[in-house]
Chain A
Amino acid sequence: MRRASRLLGLLVLWLVGVRRKSRDEEAEAERIVETAPAAPRAELLVVALLLGAAACAAAFIVFYAIDDLPSHTQLLGLALGLCFAFLAATFIVASRRLVPIEEIEEDYPEEHLPDQEELQQVVGESGTRITRKRLLAAAAGTAGGAVALAALTPALSLGPALDVDPLYRTPWRRGRRLVDRDGRPLRAADVESATFYTAYPEGASTDTVGAPLVVVRIPAGELALPADRRDWAVDGIVAYSKICTHAGCAVSLYRKPTFPPVQPRPALVCPCHYSTFDPARAGRVLFGPAGRALPQLPLMLDRRDGLRAAGNFSGPVGPSWWGVRMKRARS
């Protein structure tokens, strides 16, 4: 009990800190750290900085507690940031003025040659009993490889790694109606030229790679589809997959010719890497990194002037993979 109270007393004294006298004059041969004169003003500066940090921390708590403060995030960040700035200043002043500044040196580590030799010996001698080293190594390699393969096999449960069929599928088929995001049917009369429309398949998820379309109207005489796609347009209206064949972003820029002599045709542009496609010529790539034309969707009209798909896309939608040119898109 008495010891404890003595310790406590010492601790309090230590905390309050009766101002020390510098011990410079005392000859202490066994010192490790160099001596340096006391710096009472730096001490006071550090105390002030610490109190600043405390004040900012307190301000942070106060700001946190007041709910309807304007610029809440800014004030919180300012309080916490300044608190840390005060602490940073504290330690920087302390490192420059409050502790002895000394340079010391030390040898760089050398290699441990005797240990190396012993290691070599132990490893080498441990194997001297083995006669068919190559056979054993081959067997161990076989076992290691097989075990590693077996350990990796369950990773196949993550996804349909061997079945790439889903990549060819889209929700479009003959007769499916084109609707907007809210499900309203798109009518041919609604489609104006010099802009583009986004359409989705009626009754299917809008959030699959095969769903979104860009629909544009090309002025008469400018449309130049290949012979086998002559009837894919309706009144000059053509539809393409909205997903860029380069990296799968939505083709969401429509470049109208601002100066027709230089830019004779409108173009569809992807904002990610600026692949540029020609809607008048079957989605052919005009510029940018895409390696394939935009897949085109054949269109037809129903009796109420509504746009409908007349089949599936001219090719698989979305970014390329090894099999993208092997099969057509399927419903």
Chain B
Amino acid sequence: MVGRSDEASALVIRSAVRFVDSRSGAAPFLRKALRYVFPDHWSFLLGEVALYSFLVLVVTGVFLTLFFEPSLEQTVYHGSYGPLRGAEVSEAYRSVVDISFDVRAGLLIRQTHHWAANVFVAAIVLHLLRVFFTGAFRKPREVTYLVGLLMLFTVLPEGYLGYSMVDDLLSGMGLAIGYAVAQSVPFVGANLALLLWGAPYPGDTSFMSRMFIAHVLIFPVVIGALLGLHLTLVASRHHTQFRRRGHQSERRVLGLPTLPGYAPRSLGLLFAVAAVLFLLGGLVQINPIWQWGPYHIGDGTNGAQPDWYLGWLIGALRLVPDFDVTIGSYTLVPNPFWGGALFPLVVLIVLAVYPWVERRRTGDRENHNVLDRPRDAPGRTAFGAGFLAWVLVVFFAGSMDRAEVAFGLSYELQVWVYRVLTVVAPVVVYFLVKRVCRGLQKSEQIEREQEAAEAEARAARV
């Protein structure tokens, strides 16, 4: 017996499908899309977490845009936060304090937006690590990898612009550093900085509207375009997968289809990400700008820290010794260039060219749909771990001032320790990881041989 409801739902489905196909001709595409194969592994979800954080960022960001005032015009604060009343602040700062105290649900949305930015970058970085250490970037997916990498390096300044627009004390200090880094570029730095900022910083109010349009339009559009390209490329080459016994994994992709298996699971992840972000936004305070106060160039505060994803840059800026490279009275390389510009540039370039370097080194020009386990490619894993150790050491160097306050460690001693570590740690980690990989490979081989021997013995007995 088939219930009447089945007939009814069949009718609804049929008319919906007919409507869509007759108006768009999308049936062949949709048929494939609904049965697109998603191989199953927890680490494949990291990219999705990033995607869904971006979604939350866009939605909360649109709300904030409607209340934010991108202006450095000075005004006197008269809102409902008592301690700031009467303070001379910019319209931008005033509007963000108003969002926090006088717009209903404003603080929730603002904090969720900020948390989402932090989670977004974290998910991208973890996704990058997964892709790197499993060799997912190999042919035919080098371009997909490159687009993702570009996205990361677009997201970093996007986040920086986001918290710099607020014009609180911390964001002003961050902008001063950004300006100094721009000014430190050899030969053209001063010109570049004056061009971008419109005048020596601080001073010109036009920079706020530039930041605003960059943060709410230019960068999001670029990120959206790269995201679209990234996903299109992923789908066109299909997902990579780990090897499964008794399956031709290199030739055929095996996993859950979009419908019925994968779509509800992914929707579950979307809502889980949203749940975590809104719970963080509601319950865990982030960037309480009313405590930092408005920015004036003569003011500063100890313990100034950027959002986590710029920690490696503050660390790099802190570790460089005290010199400018000069030729006579010409300053060839002002100091902030090393840590603020060259260091991230080197990281970007190394990551960008790595797929081709590895191809060159191994002479491997084959297609790879099956992922390596990290131990399967000791050279890559060791290099990646060493490189990661280098960046991480610099990242943790960014927290030296907090470590001094929290643990009473001498700042100057820490600087020297970290300077040594940036040289030693990558080398040590490289050789250590290589050894571990080789050891794991060897023990697996021994196991395999034992199994084979036992099987043989059993066969002989029979």
Which A residues have a C-beta under 8 Å from some C-beta of B?
Answer: 7, 10-11, 13-14, 16-21, 23, 32-33, 64, 67, 72-78, 80-85, 87-92, 94-95, 98-109, 155-156, 158-164, 166-167, 181, 198, 200, 206-209, 211-212, 242-243, 246-253, 270-275, 285, 287-292, 318-326
Contact = CB atoms under 8 A, between A and B. Distances in A.
Nearest 7 interchain pairs by C-beta: A77-B282, A291-B324, A212-B298, A81-B279, A252-B300, A91-B268, A319-B180
B255 interface: yes
A212 B297 CA distance: 8
Interface stretch (B148-156, B331-339, B387-395): B331-339
Interface stretch (B106-114, B157-165, B215-223, B372-380): B106-114
A92 B268 contact: yes
B186 interface: yes
A74 B322 contact: no
A272 B236 CA distance: 46
A164 B190 contact: yes
A269 to B, nearest CB: 9
Contacts of A108: 237-238, 250-253, 367, 369
A64 B274 contact: no
A256 to B, nearest CB: 15
B347 interface: no
A249 B314 CA distance: 13
B360 interface: no
Interface stretch (B199-207, B224-232, B450-458): B199-207
Contacts of B5: 13-14, 16-18, 20
Given A84-B275, A104-B257, A320-B335, A248 B180 contact: yes
B2 A21 contact: yes
Interface stretch (B20-28, B61-69, B171-179, B441-449): B171-179
Interface string B230-270: 00000011100000000000111111110111101101111
Contacts of A243: 297
A273 B317 contact: yes
A78 B279 contact: yes
A83 to B, nearest CB: 8
15 contacts: A14-B12, A74-B282, A75-B282, A81-B282, A87-B267, A108-B253, A109-B238, A208-B297, A243-B297, A248-B201, A270-B300, A287-B412, A289-B335, A290-B335, A322-B334
A237 B366 CA distance: 73
Contacts of A107: 251-253
Given A324-B331, A325-B329, A88 B187 contact: no
A272 B259 CA distance: 52
Given A209-B203, A322-B187, A106 B252 contact: yes
Nearest to A21: B1
B268 A289 contact: no
B283 interface: yes
A274 B180 CA distance: 15
Given A91-B264, A106-B238, A321-B184, A251 B253 contact: no
Given A164-B191, A273-B317, 17 more contacts: A18-B4, A84-B272, A91-B271, A100-B260, A106-B238, A107-B252, A107-B253, A158-B196, A167-B190, A248-B179, A248-B201, A250-B299, A271-B304, A272-B304, A274-B411, A319-B184, A322-B187
Nearest to B203: A208
B362 interface: no
A328 to B, nearest CB: 11
A99 B250 CA distance: 28
Given A207-B202, A248-B179, A321-B184, A288 B329 contact: no
B409 interface: no
A200 B335 contact: no
Given A166-B200, A208-B203, A291-B335, A20 B6 contact: yes
A321 B325 CA distance: 11
A324 B186 CA distance: 12
A115 to B, nearest CB: 14
B199 A160 contact: yes
Contacts of A275: 322
A246 B336 contact: yes
Contact of A82 (B181, B265, B275, B303): B275
Given A108-B238, A289-B318, A159 B198 contact: yes
A102 B261 contact: yes
